[in-house]
Amino acid sequence: MVARDGGGRVSAETAWPRPAQVIVGVDVGTTAAKVVGFGVGSPWRHVAVREYPLLEPVPGHRVQDPETVWAATASALSDVVAAASGADVLALSVSTAMHGLIGLDATMHPVTPLVTWADARATEVSRRLRADGLGPELHQRSGTPVHPMSPLTKLVWFREHEPDVWARARWWVGLKDYVLLRLTGTLVTELSSASGTGLLDMPRREWSEPSLAVAGVSPDQLPDILPTTATLGLSRATASRVGLPVNTPVVVGAADGPLGNLGTDAMAPGVVGLSLGTSGAARMIVDAPPAVLDPSLFCYALTDTAWAVGGAVSNGGIVVRWAGQALAPDLRSLPDGPTADERLLELAATVPPGADGLVMLPYLLSERAPLWDPDLTGAFLGLRRSHTRGHLVRAAVEGVALQLTAIVEHIDQIQPVTSVRATGGAFRAPLWREIMAATTGRPFHAVGAAEGSALGAAALGLHALGRAPVLADAPALLRAPGAPDAEEVAVTPELVAAYAASRRLLPERIAALQVVAGLFA
């Protein structure tokens, strides 16, 4: 059963009897809060989604209202709790998007918006830190590249550009910390989200004094760092709001990226977890941070003994959404028919692989991996009169896929990549699955839409409660018996070979773009 209204609210429930026990994965993402109730040892699940906007009040500032995000989260949680009525809710377990920053005053009320990972205001700060030679040192110590997404660079920006806000901020926190504050009344963070701030000392698992000195903050302005399996209690105010008992366990959880690997069963050596929604990422789980981290990659914690090494692209599915708005505004969703995005991808599917020589370098937002160069702008290369908007859209899809594949190639240098397990809304479209499978050139499995970070959060919750002693075994307790593991995406050797040629040309195309961009700098 699926229900959707016009206000960004989606609910879906599987047609199975309500289970005796439920665990809830709370996944607060970039554009929506997705809360999923999973039956323990049962195929039952209930999904509630509440969408909210990513705002751009001035060019380059991409922010959200923390209260709007919290209200959406609480609404989705209330929906799931109501659907699970009569079942024992064992716990909530939380996933959130990484790299956000919020300033709180002494009463723990926001004095800034949520400055998201997509915000580019700290571009000049990151450029300066790299030019000063601090970038590699900060990256190696923290696992987070020096980039405008990083809370470290955002803190420097606030200190230099908004001194009044800087003076009012008693605390600097992330999205996870704010969600936990509203759920439990306690201000804390956890190792996974802390590892995405640029402020963590990875080997010591604590705030890094050298990084804090660069940012200009002291340790007592940041939340305490808990293990990702730590458990708090639901506050009275939130319990009343969502319909749960006071002190219902709240597992602090981890960040959405590493949890995506857990939720898609991408935990074994050699298996890459790939996610593609608004943005995208590819990650492999390793036992500990590498002694020397590839400068193209990040390293973020899932638990103290499981770390995700990989890279993220800012320009994922949002590139195709832009293409629809800019190139095909007439392709609107049809009543009881395909959506605008589906119609756009159908148009792109009529164009041959390689888009007849048209290439898109899809840097619409300040890009991240593998170059971590926020100054790169997007471009179409090889444009001819014969190219149609279908070619432009296909080139956009292929451009995103090639960027993600470049990250997979860097991960392959750490440990050979044997397969890819992919999740995300984009992979509902056959074209996305086919192109991504062909560009990676490895066994490729598309995992269900309800998998990923929400399932990863719930699985981590079961592990934290002692219900799954081995973390990697936890997701199986939340899947329907006999359900297919994932859909293997078959592509022809000819298609793989065609995209391999495109992949080999990608570095020189990027280099050419950098030269051209330099002429207009």
Residues 259 and 373 placed together within one structural domain of the fold: no
Structure confidence at residue 516 (pLDDT):
78
**Sign for the pseudo-dihedral over CA of 318, 323, 324, 325:** positive
Structure confidence at residue 2 (pLDDT):
45
Residues 74 and 164 placed together within one structural domain of the fold: yes
Residues 402 and 496 placed together within one structural domain of the fold: yes
Q: Which amino acid is at 212?
A: L
Residues 435 and 453 placed together within one structural domain of the fold: no
Domain residues for 109?
2-265+448-478
Point out the residues of the chain with pLDDT beneath 70. 1-8, 10, 15, 449-451, 480-485, 519-521
Residues 408 and 466 placed together within one structural domain of the fold: no
Nearest to 70 by CA among 103, 111, 26: 26
Classify residue 318: in a domain, yes or no: no
Residues 377 and 228 placed together within one structural domain of the fold: no
Structure confidence at residue 375 (pLDDT):
84
Q: For residue 390, give every residue at least 6 positions away whose Cβ sits within 8 Å of its Cβ, in sequence order, or none.
A: 347, 348, 350, 351
Classify residue 469: in a domain, yes or no: yes
Classify residue 57: in a domain, yes or no: yes
Residues 71 and 140 placed together within one structural domain of the fold: yes
Classify residue 170: in a domain, yes or no: yes
Could you give the number of structural domains in the chain?
Answer: 2
Q: What is the DSSP string of 16-77?
A: SPPPSEEEEEEEE-SSEEEEEEEETTSS-EEEEEEE---B-SSTT--EE-HHHHHHHHHHHH
Classify residue 245: in a domain, yes or no: yes
Q: Which two tokens stand for residue 367?
A: 């890009």
Q: Percent helix, strand, coil in the chain (nearest 5)?
A: 40, 20, 40
- CA dist 402 and 203 (Å) reads 33
Structure confidence at residue 1 (pLDDT):
46
Classify residue 274: in a domain, yes or no: no
Structure confidence at residue 285 (pLDDT):
98
Residues 34 and 100 placed together within one structural domain of the fold: yes
Residues 102 and 81 placed together within one structural domain of the fold: yes
Q: Which two tokens stand for residue 388?
A: 């149609």
SS3 372: coil
DSSP 247: T
Residues 245 and 167 placed together within one structural domain of the fold: yes
Classify residue 495: in a domain, yes or no: yes
DSSP 7: T
Q: CATH number of the domain at 358, please.
A: 3.30.420.40
Classify residue 224: in a domain, yes or no: yes
Residues 401 and 472 placed together within one structural domain of the fold: no
Structure confidence at residue 409 (pLDDT):
96
- CA dist 418 and 401 (Å) reads 18
Residues 258 and 123 placed together within one structural domain of the fold: yes
Query: What is the reported pTM?
Result: 0.91
Strand partners, 251: 93, 231
Q: Which two tokens stand for residue 340?
A: 């605008």
**C-alpha neighbours within 13 Å on the C-beta side of residue 441:** 20
- CA dist 79 and 48 (Å) reads 6
Structure confidence at residue 246 (pLDDT):
98
- CA dist 278 and 64 (Å) reads 15
Residues in the chain: 521
